[in-house]
């Protein structure tokens, strides 16, 4: 004969739990009855009493357990698992799977195996906050805060599904992680787990580029510097053309009385033209 030795089972008020009792036995013998008892394997409170029949098994619940317990397994399949529903704090304690065997009409054996059930108050897990903030040198700080009883464990996943290393935490139910620049864009997921369940929450990060990691000003520098150079060139060219036009003047212009004109660095007034000493002044192919 051999019976499994499972770990303790945890539950919470209003929930359900299964206590296993899997066994093997020689083909020439088998259990004729299974008793589930609480607190003691000899004189404990009867939880469930099942007898093996030719076509199955017949079970009856003990006083105070009716409607809350049932045999989940099949004794003919070497499975005597017990299912408990609508758990109460008072259900905490050791349970015993007692197998009674009949070798012949005069000789029988009893095998008793303990199972431990812990029922405790729990608070369903919930993620209360998942936020991001800017750090130094383009880094991003992620923080996930969750509540529940027992205190949930937290895991942060990147957009690719890999685990993000977290910083040491001094507060239960809190996880912090630093994403160094450049930060890959996408959904970052926080997963919180405890014995009462699991909850997930995601946050979208835009990520950054090498330019953004330098404070976000380089993009504007790359735009404004060439634009400033173009404006300076255009301004210089316009000024050059304006000055050239002002010095040479139109070819068909004539001096007008009372106006001053500059020709070949000679200043004169119309009607009072004087020839510079040692030089000829040519105006419309006329020498003066």
Return the CATH number at 200: 2.60.40.10
* Average pLDDT value for residue range 147-171: 90
147 and 183 assigned to the same domain: yes
23 and 114 assigned to the same domain: yes
93 and 164 assigned to the same domain: no
**pLDDT score at 284:** 44
Does a structural domain hold residue 80?
yes
61 and 77 assigned to the same domain: yes
**pLDDT score at 29:** 61
Looking at 119, 151, 180, the residue that finishes a domain is 119
21 and 108 assigned to the same domain: yes
- Find residue 186's DSSP bridge partners: 205
User: Is a pLDDT exceeding 80 seen at residue 242?
Assistant: no
* Average pLDDT value for residue range 158-184: 90
27 and 39 assigned to the same domain: yes
**pLDDT score at 159:** 94
Q: Which residues touch 99 (CB under 8 Å, ≥6 apart)?
A: 3, 21, 23, 31, 33, 34, 80, 110, 111, 112, 113
Asked if the bond preceding 97 is cis, omega within 30° of 0, the reply is: no
14 and 80 assigned to the same domain: yes
Choose among 234, 211, 235: nearest CA to 223: 211
User: Is a pLDDT exceeding 50 seen at residue 41?
Assistant: yes
269-284 core/surface letters (b: 16 or more CB in 10 A; e: else): eeeeeeeeeeeeeeee
Does a structural domain hold residue 159?
yes
Q: Which residues touch 181 (CB under 8 Å, ≥6 apart)?
A: 137, 138, 139, 140, 208, 213
Does a structural domain hold residue 128?
yes
Domain containing 170 equals 123-205
60 and 115 assigned to the same domain: yes
**pLDDT score at 252:** 46
Specify the number of domains making up the chain. 2
Measure the CA–CA gap between 77 and 230, rounded to whole angstroms: 89
Measure the CA–CA gap between 253 and 271, rounded to whole angstroms: 15
Per-range mean pLDDT, top range of 54-63, 102-111, 144-153, 210-219: 144-153
More confident residue, 41 or 107: 41
Look over the chain and give the mean of its residue pLDDT values, rounded to a whole number: 77
**pLDDT score at 248:** 52
Confidence of residue 109 (pLDDT cuts 50, 70, 90): low
Confidence of residue 123 (pLDDT cuts 50, 70, 90): confident
Does a structural domain hold residue 110?
yes
Does a structural domain hold residue 111?
yes
Looking at 205, 240, 267, the residue that finishes a domain is 205
**pLDDT score at 209:** 42
134 and 105 assigned to the same domain: no
Does a structural domain hold residue 281?
no
Determine phi and psi for 119, rounding to 5 degrees. -115, 120
Does a structural domain hold residue 255?
no
More confident residue, 41 or 218: 41
Does a structural domain hold residue 86?
yes
64 and 18 assigned to the same domain: yes
Looking at 119, 138, 157, the residue that finishes a domain is 119
**pLDDT score at 260:** 44
**pLDDT score at 215:** 39
pLDDT digits (tens, 9 = 90+) for 256-279: 444 444 444 444 444 444 555 544
User: What is the torsional sign of CA 277, 278, 281, 287?
Assistant: positive
Of 25-29, 57-61, 135-139, the least confident? 25-29
**pLDDT score at 283:** 45
Measure the CA–CA gap between 115 and 95, rounded to whole angstroms: 5
Of 37-46, 176-185, 264-273, the least confident? 264-273
């Amino acid at each position: 004969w051999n019976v499994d030795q499972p770990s303790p089972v945890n539950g919470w008020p209003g929930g359900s739990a299964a206590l296993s009792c899997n066994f093997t036995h020689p083909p020439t013998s088998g259990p004729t009855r299974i008793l589930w008892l609480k607190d003691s394997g000899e004189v404990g409170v009867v939880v469930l009493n099942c007898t093996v029949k030719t076509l199955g098994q017949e079970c009856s619940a003990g006083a105070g357990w009716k409607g809350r317990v049932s045999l989940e397994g099949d004794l003919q399949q070497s499975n005597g698992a017990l299912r408990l529903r609508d758990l109460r704090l008072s259900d905490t304690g050791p349970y015993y799977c007692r197998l009674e065997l009949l070798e012949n009409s005069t000789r029988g054996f009893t095998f008793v195996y303990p199972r431990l059930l812990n029922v405790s108050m729990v608070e369903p897990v919930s993620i209360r906050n998942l936020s991001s903030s800017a750090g130094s040198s383009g880094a991003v700080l992620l923080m996930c805060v969750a509540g529940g009883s027992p205190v949930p464990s937290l895991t942060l996943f990147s957009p690719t599904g890999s685990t993000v290393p977290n910083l040491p935490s001094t507060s239960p139910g809190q996880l912090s992680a630093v994403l160094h620049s450049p930060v890959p864009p996408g959904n970052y997921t926080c997963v919180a787990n405890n014995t009462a369940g699991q909850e997930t929450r995601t946050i979208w990060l835009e990520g950054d580029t090498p330019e953004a990691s330098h404070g976000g000003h380089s993009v504007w520098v790359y735009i404004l510097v060439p634009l400033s150079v173009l404006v300076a060139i255009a301004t210089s060219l316009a000024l050059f053309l304006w000055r050239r036009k002002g010095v040479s003047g139109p070819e068909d212009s004539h001096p007008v009385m009372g106006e001053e004109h500059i020709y070949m660095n000679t200043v004169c007034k119309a009607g009072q033209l004087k020839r510079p000493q040692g030089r000829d002044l040519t105006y419309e192919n006329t020498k003066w």
